[in-house]
Amino acid sequence: MAFFYSIIISAFHFSLLMLCSLTTGSTNLTNTLLHERFEKWVLKHEKNYSCHDEGQHRLKVFTNNVNFIEKFNREKKYGYTLSINHFADLTREEFMAKHTGATPSPLVLRPSNELDPTSLPPYVDWRTRGAVTAIKDQGSCASCWAFAAVAALEGIVKIKTGELISLSEQELVDCVTASDGCDGGWSQKAFEFIISNGGIATEVKYPYKNVQGKCRANRIEQDEKASIREYGTVPRKNETMLMAAVAQQPVAVYIDSSSSNFQFYSGDGIYDGPCGVNLDHAVSIVGYGDNKGKNYWIAKNSWGKSWGDNGYMYLAKDVHEISGMCGLATHGYYPIM
């Protein structure tokens, strides 16, 4: 039944697009090929446009993005490739507005536990130790701050209790009054809420809705296993100290994701620029390692599995002055149980 429904939907998209393409009256071969490519892409990603202004506009944006991606991949100036993913019909500005959402607040230094930078393991991957839940998708809500905090929390809960429990970003989006829900926020504020709330609900009990709603923390059972007593701040601009924190548990960090290369990162290779240090996005660092002498961080993102390496990103480590690649070593936070 569901399958049949999706076929009807797809046929419907297709006819909309056909209408769009008829109105262009194009006989140019390059345009026709791009059109076909766009139509296939639209079907694959189940995009719904109201014809024909929207369709035409999206085709234009798609074309620009495809050209950008193909040029980048031809030039091979960096150590990774880009791919035409489900974000290919969005301009950089549109993408930034909906899919990021962190603003670093003035740094509040917290007791940073006892991070020990001596005798660190050369390789850490919390995914292989069962401390990382499946990749999630923040959708078109600027709630990365909640996803990064929850990923770090899920990690410490697994490490301390032995149980991997998927926890609720929606509760944070709805209830953290010190953040702005789907208009951006702060992972530290999420931790402060979790401390005072005595935990948060599971993902199953308080599922993600992609919009901010009324806080239902009082009406939904809270998982007290997911409670923390404190959170620590990783000493700034020191990747060794970030390593020490990540060797201990997954860590929420802020990064600058404003480059178009971020939007289209394919997962093939280590992201080694371009980027600045204007922090606008939050992810969780779930490991680090080295590949033939190139050190990298493993970041869990919240842009779905079709982005990056099944939702993950590898960022160059120990190369970018002291702020870390894309500023990742400037604001790191980890929950303490």
Amino acid at 245: A
Q: 1, 25, 30, 76: which one contacts ligand NAG (CB under 6 A)? A: 30
Element (H, E) at 281: strand 281-291
Of the candidates 275, 295, 301, 326, the residue annotated as catalytic is: 301
* C-alpha to C-alpha distance for 97 and 147, rounded to whole angstroms: 16
Task: Check 141, 144, 182, 275 and give the catalytic one.
Answer: 144
Active site residue 301: yes
Which CB, 75 or 114, lies closer to ligand NAG?
A: 114
Least distance from ligand NAG to the Cβ atom of residue 279, Å: 19
Pairing of strands 265-269, 251-255: unpaired
Which residue is catalytic, options 281, 295, 326, 331? 281
Within 99-158, the residues that bind ligand NAG by CB under 6 A are: 117
Cβ neighbours of residue 327 closer than 8 Å, sequence gap 6 or more: 254, 255, 256, 275, 276, 277, 278, 279
Query: Looking at 10, 91, 113, 238, which residue binds ligand NAG (CB under 6 A)?
Result: 238
Measured from the CB atom, is 46 or 221 closer to ligand NAG? 46
**Helix pair 144-161, 187-197: axis angle to 10 deg:** 50
212 touches ligand NAG by CB under 6 A: no
Smallest separation, CB 160 to ligand NAG (Å): 25
Binding range to ligand NAG, per CB under 6 A, among 192-200, 234-242, 276-284, 307-315: 234-242
Residue with smaller CB distance to ligand NAG, 64 or 259? 64
Of the residues 67, 240, 291, 310, which one makes contact with ligand NAG according to CB under 6 A:
240
The answer to whether 275 is a known catalytic residue is no
CB 238 to ligand NAG: min, Å: 4
CA distance 263 to 277: 16
Does position 47 interact with ligand NAG (CB under 6 A)? The reply is: yes
Q: DSSP label at 235?
A: P
Contact between 67 and ligand NAG (CB under 6 A)? no
Structural tokens at position 264: 């289209």
Judged by beta carbon, residue 120 or residue 337, the one nearer ligand NAG is: 120
Binding ligand NAG by CB under 6 A: which of 241, 245, 270, 282? 241
For residue 35, give the 3-state DSSP assignment: helix
CA dist 95 and 87 (Å) reads 8
CA 321, 322, 327, 328 torsion-angle sign: positive
DSSP string, 129-175: TT--PPP-B-TTSB-HHHHHHHHHHHHHHHHHHS----B-HHHHHHH
Q: Are 101 and 144 in contact (CB under 8 A)?
A: yes
Residue 31 binding ligand NAG, by CB under 6 A: yes
Q: How far is the CB of 221 from ligand NAG (least distance, A)?
A: 30
Residue 224: CB atoms within 10 A of its CB come to 9
- Among the listed residues 210, 212, 214, 45, the one whose alpha carbon sits nearest the alpha carbon of residue 138: 210
Query: Least distance in Å: CB of 39 to ligand NAG?
Result: 15
Q: How far apart are CA 283 and CA 300, in angstroms?
A: 6
Interaction residues for ligand NAG, span 7-26 (CB under 6 A): 9
* Footprint of ligand NAG (CB under 6 A): 9, 28, 30-31, 46-48, 117, 235, 238, 240-241
Catalytic positions are 144, 281, 301
